[in-house]
Amino acid sequence: MNRLGPDSTFAMVAGRNARPKRWFANWEERMDAEDFGSPIFVKRAAYIVQEIASLADAIDFLSDWPEDQRDLIHQTALQACYDAEDGHKQLSAAHHAFIDFARQVAILEDPISAMQWIAACKSGARRDRLGCS
C-alpha cells in the first residue's frame, strides 16, 4: 500500500500556470509545510467569503483571477506563492503578498467578522437572513 499522498510524486499543477510540484516525504509534511498560520478571508461576491488557508488555496485563487484584471500586484503575489512552493521564499512572504494583493483589489475581509459569519451559518442560526448556502 502506498503511504504517500497523491501529490508526493513529481506531478504537474493543473491549470494555465502548470508547474512541477516539490517533493515531500509524506502527505502530512506537505500539508504542514504549506498551511498558512492564520487564514485569509476574501470576498468572492456580495455574500460569499472564501477562506484562503494554505499556499495551494492562494495559488488556486490567484490562478482563477480574471485575466483582464491581472496586474503587477497580482503577478507579484502569484510569483511569491510559486517561490514559496519551490522553497525559494518563506511561506510568510507568500502569505503577506497575498494579503497585499487582496487589500489592493479591495477583497480582503476582516477575519473576525468572517469567522463569526461562518460560525453562525454552521450553527444554523438565521441562515436565510445571513445568506448562508
Is residue 100 predicted with pLDDT exceeding 50?
Answer: yes
Q: Which residue has the higher pLDDT, 19 or 110?
A: 110
Instruction: Check residue 125 and give its pLDDT.
Output: 59
Inter-axis angle of helices 72-85 and 91-104, nearest 10: 160
Across the beta sheet with 108-109, what order do the strands follow?
48-54, 35-45, 108-109
Task: Give the span between the Cα atoms of 118 and 120, in whole angstroms.
Answer: 5
CB-CB contact of 24 with 8 (8 Å): yes
Instruction: Check residue 49 and give its pLDDT.
Output: 86
Those residues with Cβ within 8 angstroms of residue 79's Cβ, 6 or more apart along the chain or in another chain = none
Is residue 17 predicted with pLDDT exceeding 80?
Answer: no
Instruction: Check residue 56 and give its pLDDT.
Output: 95
* pLDDT tens string 58-81: 999 999 999 999 999 999 999 999
Task: Give the span between the Cα atoms of 2 and 22, in whole angstroms.
Answer: 18
Q: What is the mean pLDDT of residues 74-100?
A: 96
Residue recorded with cell 477575519: 111
The tally of CA atoms less than 13 A away on the side-chain side of residue 20 is 7
